[in-house]
Structure 1
């Protein structure tokens, strides 16, 4: 199994990096896990819609360049489907059961994901309607992927 996160921007805070590194280490026993960072597009605070679209387009092209044709893509999007941890674990299990050994999660930049990235996604998932920092979402996603593996293994970690 290959799990990949394609993410926009770097994690600046050490405590987030440490948490993400811990889950990367834990997940190594379940297969290959890697995070691919693409640069974020510099954008001033006040942008027109056309400028926002251009930023998302550039970031989207960078994201798409890191996704292979055979990868099953789960995009994190605020309007995506909300899943419980158990439902998420079942989704991962179903994907691997039905031949999807390469699963890629995508986290966009501060403006979100371009229409092209959302179109490429096989599934859109949401962690709710809260607005959360991308660095925190990265850590939460890593923990939830790990939790999904533990649920599927029948581990007491989930309790």
Structure 2
């Protein structure tokens, strides 16, 4: 199984890099993990709706260029479906059984994802109705993917 995480912006915080490196190492037993970071657009404080759309579209173009044919795309979106850890594990298992050997998770920037990216997504996933920093979301995502593999293999993991 190949898993790609496409995210907006470069990871800067050392503690997040360390956490992501830890889950990258843990996940290496279960999948090949790939990270793609696309540039984030500068967004001043008081943006008009049109300016927000323009920024999301520009980031979205870079995201869409990173998505290859054959990838099953899961967009992280507040309007997506919420799943338990067990349900995410089942989802990943079902995708593998259906021949989807490459799952791509997409994490938007501070303004979210463009309509183009959301339309391209095969599934929209919501982790919580709360808002998280998009850089922290990468770490949370990896922890949940790791948990999903552990659940799938009936291996113990903290509940």
Task: Count the aligned residue pairs.
Answer: 159
- 1:105 aligns with 105
Offset at residue 29 of structure 1 (A) = 1.4
- Return the alpha-carbon distance in structure 2 between the equivalents of residues 85 and 43 of structure 1: 33
- Deviation digits for residues 63-117 of structure 1, max 9, x if unmatched? 0000012100000000100000000000000000110000000000100000000
- 1:3 aligns with 3
Give me the TM-score of the superposition, normalised by structure 2.
0.98
Structure 1 window deviating more from structure 2 (9-18 vs 98-107): it is 9-18
The gaps in structure 2 that reach 5 residues or longer are none
SS of 1:116's equivalent in the other structure is helix
- Return the alpha-carbon distance in structure 1 between the equivalents of residues 29 and 66 of structure 2: 24
Give me the TM-score of the superposition, normalised by structure 1.
0.98
- Deviation digits for residues 33-75 of structure 1, max 9, x if unmatched? 0111001011111111111000000000000000012100000
SS of 1:10's equivalent in the other structure is coil
**Residues 6-155 of structure 1 mapped to structure 2, 5 A cutoff:** 6-155=6-155
- Return the alpha-carbon distance in structure 2 between the equivalents of residues 36 and 111 of structure 1: 18
Q: Structure 1 segments of 4 or more deviating over 6 A?
A: none
